[in-house]
Amino acid sequence: MTTATIIQSLASGLLMGLLYGLIAVGLALIFGLMDVTNFAHGEFLMLAMYISFFLFAFFAIDPLLAAPLVAAAMFVFGAVIYLVVVRFAMRAKTNIGMVQIFTTFGLAILMRGLAQYFFTPDYRSITQSWLGGKTISLGGVFLPVPQLVGALVSIAAFGALYFFIKKTDFGRALEATREDAGAVALVGIDKNKVFALGWGLGGALVGLAGAIMAMFFYIYPDVGASFALIAYVTVALGGFGSVFGAFAGGIIVGLVEASTALLLPPSLKSVGIYAVYLLVVFIRPRGLFGSI
């Protein structure tokens, strides 16, 4: 193993990690807002990838151009899921945590079934996108262009999110609602509206990630499952609810995955991520940046 191989894999790991952060941030946002873990998050990603695929297959729109469209569609989808399903799960009087876990789990299974029914279980891929399959050499390190663009999109998205949360009225309403959902009602903020927008925003962010992923990854009904677990680990590493913890968590997960792949057989690369998760929560039971 030479230094060049190590740098090479760490660089790819970093890019992948930034993408993991983008995949996971919607989950962290929703959790921080209302203490709900969306166990259908992976299926949100799956849906976003299919939307990108069909935009490409039917309208020949490149995933890069389609990304804003996918994000917009997923914004609507996320808000609708909140209004139609999750809102009612929040009303449960008993076992509230359980109800949320299993409602979103049921939703995940339902979405997977619908995807199999309508899109068939076939593996699909976007073969001829602008960026797909291209690599670029930066100082001797070869980087796949889709992942590089994905990483840049991720950094931009986190930057925009930061601005959004700190500087806009809706962002402040979001922050206030997560602090105390009861009190905001007194100052005229509609809690349901904020939650719906939060779910929309979470959906839009994973939509963005899905469009990027569609450039270089196979698209099939179960694709969400493996990324979902990585997303939960990412969010938990950063500390549930910490939006910028997800950014750091993603980078750590990407680097750990790349290092594990260097040391162990490729089929065991996820073991490293899982082990780091356990190690972190055993030492800090609330994640790295979790405050609660």
Partner 1 sequence: MESFAQRRRRDLIVAFVLAALAACAPFVIKDVYVQNIMVLTLMYAALSQAWNILGGYCGQISLGHALYFGLGAYTTTLLFTKFGVLPWFGMLGGGTISALIAMALGYPTFRLRGHYFVIATIVIAEIGLLLFHNWDWAGAALGIDIPVRGDSWLRFQFTRSKLPFFYFALVFCCVAWLITWWLEDSKWGYWWRAVKDNPDAAESLGVVVFNSKMGAAAVSAFLTAIGGAFYAQFVSYIDPESVMSFQFSLLMALPAVLGGIGTLWGPVLGAVILIPLTELTRSFIGGSGRGVDLILYGTVIVLISLARPEGLIGLFSRKRKEVSR
Q: Which residues contact 76 (CB under 8 A, 6 or more apart)?
A: 200, 203
> Shortest distance, CB of residue 127 to partner 1, whole angstroms?
24
Taking the complex as a whole, how short is the minimal distance between the CB of residue 253 and partner 1, in angstroms?
12
Decide whether 21 or 287 has the Cβ nearer to partner 1: 287
Nearer to partner 1, 88 or 163 (CB): 88
Contact assessment for residue 203 and residue 74, using Cβ atoms and an 8 Å cutoff: yes
User: Cβ of residue 103: shortest distance to partner 1, in angstroms?
Assistant: 4
Question: Which residues are 135's β-sheet partners?
Answer: 144
Q: Report the residue number, 45 or 151, with the smaller CB distance to partner 1.
A: 45
- Report CA dihedral (254, 137, 150, 146) to the nearest 10 degrees: -110
**Residue 56, SS3 per DSSP:** helix
Q: Which residues bind partner 1 (CB under 8 A)?
A: 31, 37, 85, 88-89, 92-99, 101-103, 105-117, 120-121, 221, 225, 229, 232-233, 236, 240, 265, 267-268, 270-271, 274-275, 277-278, 281-282, 285-287
Structure tokens at 166: 């700190």
Reported residue count of the chain is 292
Q: SS3 letters for 144-210? A: EHHHHHHHHHHHHHHHHHHHHHHHCHHHHHHHHHHHCHHHHHHCCCCHHHHHHHHHHHHHHHHHHHH
Task: Write down the least CB distance from residue 8 to partner 1, Å.
Answer: 24
For residue 169, the minimal CB distance to partner 1 (Å) is 30
CB nearer to partner 1: pick between 62 and 257 = 257
Nearer to partner 1 among residue 106 and residue 171 (C-beta): 106
CA–CA separation, 33 vs 112, rounded Å?
A: 26
